[in-house]
Structure 1
């Protein structure tokens, strides 16, 4: 009984089961929770990497979305890309645009994302879809083609 109680305790904080009338939905979601819990246990024993169950679930979700996302659904919501590692920045169509002017500067500039890698570079161009300032020559293409920019 000890292992069953422990697994129930660990699943209680991250359960997918929601209040629903349909019993088969509850059974399916519970089986999904148990499968993720078992894969988490296997991951920890085989890799030796200690990671929380919630973080493991988020990794699994991210990998599923990265592999099976559909560009059609992402544009229907009208959401913009974030600066995180979003697969849409690699597959969707992006075009350079100029940084919009501000009250103080007619030709505004922003710091390019390559500044994180040690380069200090200001640019007048950005990807309007991702809302990220990028150098037009090297960074724009690299940002939209390399997975880990």
Structure 2
């Protein structure tokens, strides 16, 4: 599998989740409202959109269908953040155009194995992740 690094990322999530990420990296733009998605896409022209399924579960399907139905958005990759896998939901989202998923369970396992920089550096085009990586001496 070839890993792509994305220069412009649009993060659609609750406000609490991304303060540190958006403060440190100019390539990440955060929005917390469904009504801001398409104006932000037009303004930013992102390479990747990360949707928080837990927060916007009712609107994710509509957003993905609208993105995939428009040729202007054809090169945008869509990532969906979820707490855990669900076969039917994931199958539907994959069928309508979600490119990949990030599960909270996997992130917790990766934090314990100290490979969290690999996850974010493979998604974002960034040079360092200081502050996002937990201190290994602290108990998880």
Q: Same fold judged by TM-score > 0.5?
A: no
Give the TM-score category using the shorter length. Answer: under 0.3
Q: Greater CA radius of gyration, 1 or 2?
A: 1
Structure number with the bigger relative contact order (C-alpha 8 A, sep ≥ 6) is 2
TM-score normalised to the size of structure 2?
0.22
TM-score normalized with structure 1 length? 0.21
